[in-house]
Structure 1
């Protein structure tokens, strides 16, 4: 298995990023992988830090583990080892490092870490197909969450709320587009809709075959929105189409303005969702902004 590698340039100082990553109170606020980190007291300042950690899974479930960390600010790195006996964790033990490299924009923050999965062959299969990609995504997403905090002053709790708002808005939009494309246009074509399309002249060819064609594209748009593929572009396309169906189509079919299931009443909320997705994308964490490809000879340490 390849180790997990994530790096991202952050416009900040070494002092600020060191405080936000080495202080456990700050660390758990931006790192999605941990819910609590408790440092044990040290006899000497130069001794490695022993700590315990908790990751809450929801529904009252949690994973507990322990670790040891050694950081050298002047050397711009910290290394750690971690392990857990909790049967709910796929990870038995692992090790990794954080590196803080000088960069033209501030600090290039990098991590490389690896771990050993439990449960034998089954555990390795689950790790390869699901868990390791999830951990890679969670690490990158958390790095960008930290960047938003240090660069733009967006608190981690707020960026999480904005991210959830974006997810809900994109899912709502995607579901409606999939439904509108699949049910009334492909599975159960409506004679009224075919007649309306004929009257408005929107079809490029015979309406009975154009409507299923339009339905396929609506389904693809919905899937792209839910999957988060080019969110600003897909939200922009959604907004343009919704405005067209809400403003231009009623110009040709005025009865849609007072129909309780017409374009205005049905599309107003979806237009709001499209605008929300467009406006907040640069303020929410995204794993896609990080580099996830291991280069050179970087190894977990």
Structure 2
């Protein structure tokens, strides 16, 4: 396989992975199943249960839209920078609201670092294609 094709396949894999992760996180625990932990995060911020459920669904819809952007032709550096900022922001929010989540087996640290690493790799491939081709 030539280097240019390998470069393109690598970016496709990154974009598909980020799309799946964002869409899953928006759809499964926030919209379809309304996970207790997701609701609890909103309630710990002072929202009542009804408002927390609504905010959870809205945030799920936003995550699905964001994930879908990775499936479109809109695969710019800005999208990856936004992903990194989002992952850092969400991690910081959870750390402030309830740091206990970071001690669990499946915790925000693991997924957020992995998603940031994917975007950092994509940024490198997008910024310096001549070094990778």
**TM value normalised by structure 1:** 0.39
**Residues 249-269 of structure 1: CA distance to partner in whole angstroms, max 9, x if unpaired?**
223211012111111022221
Q: Report what 1:192 is aligned to.
A: 37
Please identify runs of 4+ aligned residues in structure 1 that moved more than 6 A: none
CA RMSD of aligned residues (A): 2.4
Q: Report what 2:93 is aligned to.
A: 248
Which structure is higher in strand share? 1
Q: CA deviation at 1:201?
A: 4.9
Residues 237 and 227 (structure 1 numbering): CA distance in 2 closer, same or farther, change over 3 Å? same
Measured in 1, the distance between the counterparts of 2:58 and 2:95 equals 22
1:266 equivalenced with 2:115 (yes/no): no
**Residues 179-237 of structure 1: CA distance to partner in whole angstroms, max 9, x if unpaired?**
1111111111112311222103589x921101111111111111111223143222222
Where do residues 96-135 of structure 1 align in structure 2 (5 Å cutoff)? Answer: none
Aligned residues: 129
Q: Report what 1:4 is aligned to.
A: none
Q: Which has the larger radius of gyration?
A: 1
SS in structure 1 of the partner of residue 121 of structure 2: helix
Q: Is the 8 A contact 1:200 1:253 kept in 2?
A: no
- Structure 1, unaligned stretches of length 5 or more? 1-155, 286-301
Q: Report what 2:51 is aligned to.
A: 206
Q: Report what 1:157 is aligned to.
A: 2
Q: CA deviation at 1:276?
A: 1.3
Q: Report what 1:281 is aligned to.
A: 126
Q: Is the 8 A contact 1:239 1:274 kept in 2?
A: yes
**Residues 113-136 of structure 1: CA distance to partner in whole angstroms, max 9, x if unpaired?**
xxxxxxxxxxxxxxxxxxxxxxxx
Q: Is the 8 A contact 2:41 2:97 kept in 1?
A: no
Measured in 1, the distance between the counterparts of 2:117 and 2:37 equals 27
Measured in 2, the distance between the counterparts of 1:241 and 1:202 equals 21
Task: Pick one of 62, 65, 74 that aligns with 1:220.
Answer: 65
**Residues 80-106 of structure 1: CA distance to partner in whole angstroms, max 9, x if unpaired?**
xxxxxxxxxxxxxxxxxxxxxxxxxxx
Residues 219 and 266 (structure 1 numbering): CA distance in 2 closer, same or farther, change over 3 Å? same
Q: CA deviation at 1:283?
A: 3.8
